[in-house]
């Protein structure tokens, strides 16, 4: 008898496959625009100075240890992380309407949100994701047993938001469906609604009593300003726009450069008014989910983030680090656009600078992307999503020329 | 208002739908029906302990090591590894979905090759028959293998010893498996109940999954002898059980992690002889490196072939990716440094661990010495191994200890002995004597 006879080998994760091809490529001037992690101007991974300082401080501290955290996580972390996303003066926090649970970064938060909703949400078990969205979103909710649908988001012709399509799906979806919104720096398009558009979107969501799940993976990374990047969430909650429960999935992977430390949280706002017994019930159920999956969340990353957030000087350093990262990326967007305009590359390239966050949805076709990799050693995922963090002063010209070449190669003359 | 009402009542019974009170939409009504989940027992004890003003109070609830002054420690070797990390760490990028190759290889070499003491394990590694994935410590590895078996193994029944770690049942149930107990311990005799253990295993369905504690059985501290393991392994072969080994306390039985894996070596031998085809091992560094909160552990699946390994590894990745993407790196980097020869930390870790276990054994004997043996036989204490003593005290006696003497332990009579030290052992023994002799 064979134990697991039916098991098939699956193809590798596309991003993982891309990375493997990149590593194997012998060309010395190859460029990696695949990975969603920040690189400095010399193309190297970067540990934020605020993180370095916090680590040195933490490890030396006489109270430092490796004890288990509680099932909910590290309280000093949760208390300040919720303020980062909801605001120092958040009314919801003051009214004690927020239930927070530490998670294994963004994925862990989304997964716990999904498991929780699966068990306790009796509205429509259909979740609407933006089209396109982060590849893992679909799997996270499919695995838990949700029906996954999508709302129009990116208009490829205009390379801008398909607001009408978005709004009409909100209206036509069965009342009480779940809508996942990217709080800022939409992945993969880098295109966010304007503040006026957000107001319209949230108003329509409430009109249909949809449940809103915010995915906040890039706060502070988009504009360099934590408050500005939290606009959609704070507007929805502070202005009581949503009369339904709200769930926020928060990650410190990108904005603290703590990718592998898995630091994040899920914040649930169960009702628009204070309701202590309901909050306790929600918290106890989140605990129960965590207990049987991981017992308790990992300590180190949450202690580092908490050290930064609870120390004035470190907090300032972190906010400066956010500006360092976001401004370098913005600079690279402009440089790439300028170079493409200079080269007279067919098409318009304004979207590269209008987009925000780690990525640019370039509009390059899969065949152009394939040629970029083969002919030029420039690696990006087939959707045409480029990680702008992979650009630097040393490679941006090469990348612009490569873009120019592949676009011209596939632009058929109309003769 | 109506929601407060509903939730209050939900605490007592299960979900209480109170339609009459719902004036809003369906969705809010749904949320008002969320019941309060019962609190975790061990956590509840810690909280009550903290709130107790008695200066003689003793916490015997938590399964984490305390030194002779009652304080948590960081292993000196771990401290050094952390210093190395602080100086050399260049990035905090994502590790792989199943962890880094370096971590996986360190675990394989440590556990299966037994650092060149297990030729059968080495053969399994070399022939690509072991898939190792970093997980969220022991619980995470149990959950991942539970989910995996639920997806790919035909039999959903998992046999667990009675008693077992409280979370085992919850983890496997939530993974979709059906836990069922097999006999393990005879409370009236404070001893292993080996005859019934064999009987209850033999009476189970062929092909069931069977959970085995590799050493330092939690909560009883009572392990099988080499000969007894051989008998159990024979039943496993006869019944075609899938063995799932949980090894949370490697090193805590003998003080030496290489000596505590007799079961693994024996089962590798049977795999080499093709008598057992496949098994899985959940392993954690929470206790033996004191990395509790860093959540560092692994799942290994011993497969039938290198090809099967590839398929299984790809499915593990598919399973983990939507749950948490990749495991946390701090603890695993510490483990990598400790096992990396260039930093010369392996010997100091082994000696740190030996000291920890040595203190637990000293405390165990001291408690035994101080206990009144005239009306109660305490010999089982000396047979038990690991972080706990399974006293055999009734829940009434445990509650009396708590209420009268501020001694906090779980009601099954399991005492975490690292909470005992030179300053409180006499007080504790006196309290137990008073309760037992009442």
Q: Would the pLDDT of B128 be above 80?
A: yes
- In this prediction, residue B32 carries a pLDDT of 66
Does residue B232 share a domain with residue B177?
Answer: yes
Q: CB-based burial of residue B150 (10 Å sphere; 0-12 exposed, 13-18 middle, 19+ buried)?
A: middle
Q: Would the pLDDT of B28 be above 60?
A: no
Q: Would the pLDDT of B8 be above 70?
A: no
In CATH, what number is assigned to the domain containing residue B328? 3.40.640.10
Does residue B163 share a domain with residue B67?
Answer: no
Average the pLDDT over A12-35 and give the result.
90
Does residue B244 share a domain with residue B145?
Answer: yes
Q: Would the pLDDT of B11 be above 70?
A: no
Identify the residue among A280, A292, A325, A390 best suited for mutation to test binding to B, counting B beta carbons within 10 A and taking the highest: A292
Q: DSSP letter string over A243-278?
A: -S-EEEEEE-TTTTT-GGG-EEEEEEE--SS--HHH
Between A122 and A388, name the one with better pLDDT: A388
Q: Is the CB of residue A291 less than 8 Å from the CB of residue A69? A: no
Return mean pLDDT, chain A. Answer: 95
Q: Chain A, 256-295: which have a CB under 8 Å from a chain B CB?
A: 257-262, 270-271, 275-278, 280-282, 284-285, 287-288, 291-295
- In this prediction, residue B235 carries a pLDDT of 98
- In this prediction, residue B10 carries a pLDDT of 37
Q: Is the CB of residue B277 less than 8 Å from the CB of residue B304? A: yes
pLDDT tens digit string along B301-327? 999 999 999 999 999 999 999 999 999
- In this prediction, residue B2 carries a pLDDT of 31
Q: Is the CB of residue B2 less than 8 Å from the CB of residue B23? A: yes
> Domain for residue B85, yes or no?
no
> Domain for residue B87, yes or no?
no
Average the pLDDT over A115-129 and give the result.
94
Q: Is the CB of residue B98 less than 8 Å from the CB of residue B133? A: yes
Does residue B150 share a domain with residue B239?
Answer: yes
Q: Would the pLDDT of B46 be above 90?
A: no
- In this prediction, residue B13 carries a pLDDT of 38
- In this prediction, residue B402 carries a pLDDT of 96
Q: Would the pLDDT of B85 be above 80?
A: yes
Average the pLDDT over A56-80 and give the result.
96
Q: Would the pLDDT of B34 be above 90?
A: no
pLDDT tens digit string along A149-175? 999 999 988 889 999 999 999 999 999
Q: Would the pLDDT of B42 be above 90?
A: no
Q: Would the pLDDT of A26 be above 70?
A: yes
> Domain for residue B386, yes or no?
yes
pLDDT band at A240 (very low <50, low <70, confident <90, very high): confident
> Domain for residue B367, yes or no?
yes
In CATH, what number is assigned to the domain containing residue B372? 3.90.1150.10
Active site residues of B: 165, 246, 287
| Domain that residue B278 falls in | 94-343
CATH topology assigned to domain A68-310: 3.40.640
Average the pLDDT over each of A362-371, B61-70, B141-150 and give the range with the smallest value: B61-70
**Among A191, A215, A188, A193, CA closest to A204:** A193
Q: What kind of architecture, by CATH, is found in domain A14-46+327-408? A: Alpha-Beta Complex (3.90)
Q: Chain B, 235-264: which have a CB under 8 Å from a chain A CB?
A: 240, 242
pLDDT band at A330 (very low <50, low <70, confident <90, very high): very high
- In this prediction, residue A308 carries a pLDDT of 98
Return mean pLDDT, chain B. Answer: 91
Query: CATH 3.90.1150.10: which residues of chain A?
Result: 14-46+327-408
Does residue B333 share a domain with residue B359?
Answer: no
SS (H, E, C) chain B: CHHHHHHHHHHHCCCCCCHHHCCCCHHHHHHHCCCCCCCCHHHHHHHHHHHCCCCCCEECCCCCCCCCCCCCCCCHHHHHHHHHHHHHCCCCCCCCCCCCHHHHHHHHHHHHCCCCCCHHHHHHHHCCCEEEEEEEHHHHHHHHHHHHHHHHCCCCEEEEEECCCHHHHHHHHHCCCEEEEEECEECCCCEECHHHHHHHHHCCCCCCEEEEECCCCCCCCCCCCHHHHHHHHHHHHHHCCEEEEEECCCCCCCCCCCCCCHHHHHHHHHHHCCCCCCEEEEEECCCCCCCHHHCEEEEEEECCCHHHHHHHHHHHHHHHHHHHCCCCHHHHHHHHHHHCHHHCCHHHHHHHHHHHHHHHHHHHHHHHHHCCCCCCCCCHHHHCCCCEEECCCCHHHHHHHHHHHCEECCCCCEEEHHHCCCCCHHHHHHHHHHHHCC
Q: How many CB pairs under 8 A join A and B?
A: 256
For strand A31-32 and strand A378-379, is the pairing parallel, antiparallel, or unpaired? parallel
- In this prediction, residue B33 carries a pLDDT of 77
pLDDT tens digit string along B253-302? 999 999 999 999 999 999 999 999 999 999 999 999 999 999 999 999 99
Tell me the H-state helices in A173-214.
195-207
Q: Would the pLDDT of B6 be above 50?
A: no
Look at B314 and A9 and tell me if their CB atoms are within 8 Å: yes
Does residue B385 share a domain with residue B334?
Answer: no
- In this prediction, residue A269 carries a pLDDT of 95
Look at B86 and A56 and tell me if their CB atoms are within 8 Å: yes
Q: Would the pLDDT of A403 be above 70?
A: yes
Does residue B314 share a domain with residue B197?
Answer: yes
| Candidates B26, B94, B312; nearest CB to A260 | B94
Average the pLDDT over A257-268 and give the result.
98
Q: Is the CB of residue A45 less than 8 Å from the CB of residue A39? A: yes
Does residue B357 share a domain with residue B338?
Answer: no
Look at A294 and B137 and tell me if their CB atoms are within 8 Å: yes
Look at A70 and B43 and tell me if their CB atoms are within 8 Å: yes
Does residue B283 share a domain with residue B403?
Answer: no
- In this prediction, residue B116 carries a pLDDT of 85
- In this prediction, residue A60 carries a pLDDT of 93
Q: Is the CB of residue A21 less than 8 Å from the CB of residue A372? A: no
Average the pLDDT over A321-333 and give the result.
96
- In this prediction, residue B22 carries a pLDDT of 33
pLDDT band at A191 (very low <50, low <70, confident <90, very high): very high
- In this prediction, residue B23 carries a pLDDT of 32
Cβ neighbours around B375 below 10 Å, total: 8
pLDDT band at B1 (very low <50, low <70, confident <90, very high): very low
């Amino acid at each position: 008898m064979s134990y697991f006879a039916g098991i098939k080998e699956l193809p590798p994760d596309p991003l993982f496959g891309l990375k493997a091809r990149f590593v194997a490529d012998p060309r010395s001037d190859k460029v990696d625009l695949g990975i969603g992690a920040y690189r400095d101007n010399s193309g190297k991974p970067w540990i934020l100075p605020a993180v370095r300082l916090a680590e040195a401080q933490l490890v030396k501290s006489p109270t430092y240890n490796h004890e288990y955290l509680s099932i909910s996580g590290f309280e000093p972390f949760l208390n300040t992380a919720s303020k980062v996303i909801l605001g120092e003066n958040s009314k919801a926090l003051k009214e004690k309407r927020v239930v927070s649970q530490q998670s294994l970064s963004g994925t862990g938060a989304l997964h716990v949100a999904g498991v929780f909703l699966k068990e306790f949400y009796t509205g429509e078990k259909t979740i609407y994701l933006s089209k396109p969205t982060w590849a893992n979103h679909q799997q996270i909710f499919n695995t838990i047993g949700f029906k996954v649908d999508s709302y129009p988001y990116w208009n490829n012709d205009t390379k801008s938001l398909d607001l009408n399509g978005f709004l009409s799906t909100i209206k036509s979806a069965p009342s009480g469906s779940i809508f996942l919104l990217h709080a800022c720096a939409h992945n993969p398009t880098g295109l966010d609604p304007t503040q006026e558009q957000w107001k319209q979107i949230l108003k329509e969501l409430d009109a249909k009593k949809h449940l809103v799940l915010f995915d906040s993976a890039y706060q502070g990374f988009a504009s360099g300003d934590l408050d500005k990047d939290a606009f959609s969430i704070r507007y929805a909650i502070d202005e009581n726009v949503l009369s339904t429960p709200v769930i926020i999935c928060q990650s410190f992977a990108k904005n603290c450069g703590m990718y592998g430390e898995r630091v994040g949280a899920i914040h649930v706002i169960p009702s628009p008014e204070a309701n202590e017994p309901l909050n306790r019930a929600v918290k106890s159920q989140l605990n129960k989910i965590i207990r049987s999956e991981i017992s308790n969340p990992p300590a180190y990353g949450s202690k580092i983030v908490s050290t930064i957030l609870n120390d004035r000087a470190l907090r300032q350093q972190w906010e400066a680090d956010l500006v360092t990262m976001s401004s370098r990326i913005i600079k690279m967007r402009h440089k790439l656009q300028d170079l493409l305009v200079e080269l007279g590359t067919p098409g318009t390239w304004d979207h590269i600078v209008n987009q925000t966050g780690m990525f640019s949805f370039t509009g390059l076709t899969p065949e152009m992307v394939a040629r970029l990799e083969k002919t030029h050693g420039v690696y990006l995922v087939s959707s045409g999503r480029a990680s702008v963090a992979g650009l630097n002063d040393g490679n941006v010209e090469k990348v612009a020329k490569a873009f120019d070449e592949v676009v011209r190669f596939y632009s058929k003359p109309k003769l | 208002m109506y929601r407060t009402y509903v939730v209050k009542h939900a605490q007592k019974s299960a979900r209480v739908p109170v339609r009459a009170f719902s004036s809003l939409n369906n969705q809010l009504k749904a949320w008002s029906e969320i019941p309060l989940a019962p609190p975790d027992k061990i956590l509840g004890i810690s909280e009550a302990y903290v709130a107790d003003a008695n200066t003689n109070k003793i916490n015997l609830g938590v399964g984490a090591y305390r030194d002779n002054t009652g304080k948590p420690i960081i292993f000196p070797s771990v401290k050094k590894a952390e210093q190395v990390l602080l100086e050399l760490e260049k990035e905090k990028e994502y590790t792989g979905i199943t962890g880094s190759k370096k971590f996986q290889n360190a675990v394989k070499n440590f556990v299966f090759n037994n650092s060149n003491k297990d030729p059968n394990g080495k053969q399994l590694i070399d022939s690509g028959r072991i898939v190792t994935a970093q997980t969220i410590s022991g619980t995470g590895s149990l959950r991942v293998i539970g989910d995996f078996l639920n997806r790919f193994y035909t039999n959903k029944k998992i046999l667990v010893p009675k008693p077992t770690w409280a979370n085992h049942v919850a983890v496997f149930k939530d993974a979709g498996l059906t836990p069922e107990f097999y006999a393990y311990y005879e409370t009236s005799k404070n001893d292993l109940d080996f005859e019934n253990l064999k009987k209850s295993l033999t009476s189970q369905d062929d092909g069931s999954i069977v959970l085995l504690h590799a050493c330092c059985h939690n909560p009883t501290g009572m392990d099988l002898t080499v000969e007894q393991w051989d008998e159990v392994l024979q039943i496993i072969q006869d019944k075609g059980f899938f063995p799932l080994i949980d090894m949370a306390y490697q090193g805590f039985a003998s003080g030496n992690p290489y000596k505590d894996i007799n079961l693994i070596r024996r089962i590798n031998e049977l795999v080499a002889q093709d008598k057992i085809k496949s098994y899985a091992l959940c392993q954690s560094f929470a206790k033996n490196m004191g990395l509790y909160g860093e959540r560092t552990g692994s799942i290994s699946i011993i497969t039938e072939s290198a090809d099967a390994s590839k398929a299984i590894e790809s499915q593990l990745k598919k399973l983990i990716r939507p749950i948490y993407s990749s495991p946390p790196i701090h603890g695993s980097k510490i483990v990598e440094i400790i096992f990396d020869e260039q930093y010369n930390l392996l010997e100091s870790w082994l000696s740190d661990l030996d000291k920890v276990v040595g203190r637990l054994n000293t405390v165990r004997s001291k408690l035994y010495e101080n206990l009144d043996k005239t009306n109660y036989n305490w010999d089982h204490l000396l047979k038990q191994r690991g972080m706990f003593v399974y006293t055999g005290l009734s829940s009434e006696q445990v509650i009396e200890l708590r209420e009268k003497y501020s001694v906090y332990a779980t009601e099954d009579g399991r005492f975490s002995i690292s909470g005992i030290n030179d300053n409180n052992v006499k007080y504790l023994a006196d309290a137990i004597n008073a309760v037992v002799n009442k």
